[in-house]
Homo-oligomer: A and B are copies of this chain.
Amino acid sequence: MPSAVGGTGRTGGRAGRPTMKDVAAHVGTSIKSVSRVLNGEDGVSAATAERILQAMAELGFRRNDLARGLRQSDRTSTIGLALPQAGTRFHDSLVHGIDEIARQQGSFVLTASSGTAARERETLTALCSRRVDGLIVVPAGEDHGFLRPEQQAGVPVVFVDRPPHGIAADAVLTDHAEGARAGTAHLLRQGHRRIGVVGDDERIFSVAERIGGHRAALRTEQVAYAEELTRLGARCAEEAMHACLDLLGSGQPPTALFTLNNQCTIGAVRALRRLGLTRRVAMVGFDDFETADLIDPPVTVISHDVEEIGRTAARLMFERMAGHSPAPGRTTLPTKLIARGSGEIPVVDESS
């Protein structure tokens, strides 16, 4: 958490916290201008506003110091939500959970898709310029330091699914590593030793964590991690299907598959069907999906409650808006193994 140390222009303030006066003195502008920037009013040039926001960040000025004294009308009753991509099931469930809490609080949610890391800053800035009371971010980029002025100006920022970089903020995560460890251990218990892994890009935090958990489970059972059984970079079900076909068609194919998200799971089911192997190759997938129990065999999954992740993130945000200001921390939600059939297929003797 940023401290107020180094606020050269500070002239006091309770508990050492900088005031609007300190910010004004630091920039060499009027308190009225600082107030205007803080309240999103016009009448301050863009350059001055930027310098004021920068000073707020440097001095560790926090609007929460004032929040209790602000009129309700300073609030916009709007929450901003930034997602890397619109229209994935993870994001739907997340929006659902956030929306539920926001409605309870009389707020409405504006959602924007940030897309690539390059576009993320632009999207988040555009979202903030619409005056949101708080911001929930599923990060796409690597550095979110540019959100510090917003945060310092009293807009709480909560990160979801991936931790923040370049900014101290709350994060709500899934215990990806433990989930993947449990899923892999489940396959090891059925006797599998050659477990194929199919997933998205390893540079994504959740993917890296899941692979870490998978390897930890192998280590516990002293099974060597075989690089040649891992196929990463599958961005959709179609790519995952081809990765699985490649893996299962190799000289020493895996006897089980561990898929790192539900798109990969669906791709793997298609590959197993195409090869007539649905009852011979075991499979555990990360992420549950609505029809997993209707597929033959029903798919064993590592499930996480994404709506609850959304609710938790929204609650943290509203708590900060209400003036709670503990040090930013991580909340990690557990996963659950749901055994349905595909993950309980035993090793088939390769010579049979």
Contact = CB atoms under 8 A, between A and B. Distances in A.
Contacts of A77: 126
Contacts of A93: 87
Given A291-B266, A296-B296, A99 B113 contact: yes
A90 to B, nearest CB: 10
Interface in A110-154: 110-113, 115, 122-123, 126-127, 130
B109 A110 contact: no
Contacts of A89: 92
A289 B295 CA distance: 13
B92 A290 contact: no
A122 B237 CA distance: 39
A92 B99 contact: no
Contact of A95 (B78, B86, B110, B270): B86
Nearest to A102: B113
A296 to B, nearest CB: 5
Nearest to A93: B87
A-side interface size class? 35 or more
Contact of A108 (B78, B112, B273): B112
A11 interface: no
A112 B237 CA distance: 28
A112 B112 contact: no
Contact of A111 (B111, B237, B289, B295): B111
A290 B93 CA distance: 17
A52 to B, nearest CB: 19
A94 to B, nearest CB: 8
Contact of A290 (B86, B115, B123, B266): B266
A96 interface: yes
Contacts of A130: 110, 130
A261 B78 CA distance: 32
Q: Name the residue in A91, A112, A113 with the highest tally of chain B Cβ atoms < 10 Å from its Cβ.
A: A113
A107 B338 CA distance: 42
Given A86-B109, A87-B95, A291-B291, 10 more contacts: A87-B96, A88-B92, A91-B92, A95-B113, A108-B122, A108-B126, A110-B112, A270-B294, A289-B291, A294-B296
9 contacts: A77-B126, A87-B92, A103-B115, A110-B130, A111-B111, A130-B130, A237-B290, A294-B295, A295-B295
Interface of A: 42, 77-78, 86-89, 91-93, 95-96, 99, 103, 108-113, 115, 122-123, 126-127, 130, 237, 266, 269-270, 273, 289-291, 294-296
